[in-house]
Amino acid sequence: MNTKTKKIVIAALVAALTCVATMIIKIPSPLKGYINLGDCMVLLAGWMLSPFYGFLAAGLGSALADVFSGYFTYAPATFIIKGLMALIAFFLYKLLHNKIGNLISRILGGILAEITMIIGYFLFEGLLYGFVPSLVNIPANAVQGIAGIIIGTVLVTILNKNLSCFFSHYKIP
């Protein structure tokens, strides 16, 4: 199997896992959205894949979860927001990991990515429902973001130690 095919397969796997992680636990939030565990996979997409494949895996997996769950209105915004989160996680990690280490650079990238998610959904919901009512979802999105950073950081550490069992010559940076 050539390198491009491997990248596509891994990105598709991450997209599927993102979709499942998003759908497996859904806690309704005040403005017709829901809190989920998908952000840990979105961050993993950023940390594990190239910017292009990470954006697509995070965006498609999350948007598909919205579609499959009946949140059609959210799917286009989710695609962009979650894709941007993966890009931010990727680039901040690349920028900082040699200076401050893997763990701290991942946490900082995760924090900036999650802030982007909170602002992105606030703006999107503000256009749909009004900006004052949209304030009510900020705490729920923050809780989702914190969980995503914690679980994502644990998962990337575990995968980094054990991924060679599944993919030869593949190491998460």
For 121-168, what is each residue's pLDDT tens digit? 999 999 999 999 999 999 999 999 999 999 999 999 998 877 655 444
Of the pLDDT bands very low, low, confident and very high (cuts 50, 70, 90), residue 173 is: low
pLDDT score of 163? 66
Distance (Å, rounded) from C-alpha 173 to C-alpha 161?
11
Question: Vertex 63, ends 145 and 114: CA angle to 5°?
Answer: 20
pLDDT score of 27? 85
**4: its two tokens:** 């491009």
pLDDT score of 18? 97
Is the pLDDT score of 169 beyond 50? no
User: Which among 170, 146, 152 has a CA at the least distance from the CA of 89?
Assistant: 152
| CB-based contact 143:35 (threshold 8 Å) | yes
Average pLDDT over residues 44-50: 94
Of the pLDDT bands very low, low, confident and very high (cuts 50, 70, 90), residue 34 is: confident
- Comparing 31 with 13, the larger pLDDT belongs to 13
Distance (Å, rounded) from C-alpha 94 to C-alpha 34?
31
Is the pLDDT score of 30 beyond 90? no
Is the pLDDT score of 83 beyond 80? yes
Is the pLDDT score of 170 beyond 90? no
Is the pLDDT score of 56 beyond 70? yes
Highest mean pLDDT among 21-35, 87-101, 159-173: 87-101
pLDDT score of 76? 98
- Comparing 160 with 73, the larger pLDDT belongs to 73
SS (H, E, C) the chain: CCHHHHHHHHHHHHHHHHHHHHHHCCEECCCCCEECCHHHHHHHHHHHCCHHHHHHHHHHHHHHHHHHCCCHHHHHHHHHHHHHHHHHHHHHHHHHHHHHCHHHHHHHHHHHHHHHHHHHHHHHHHHHHCHHHHHHHHHHHHHHHHHHHHHHHHHHHHHHHHHHHCCCCCCCC
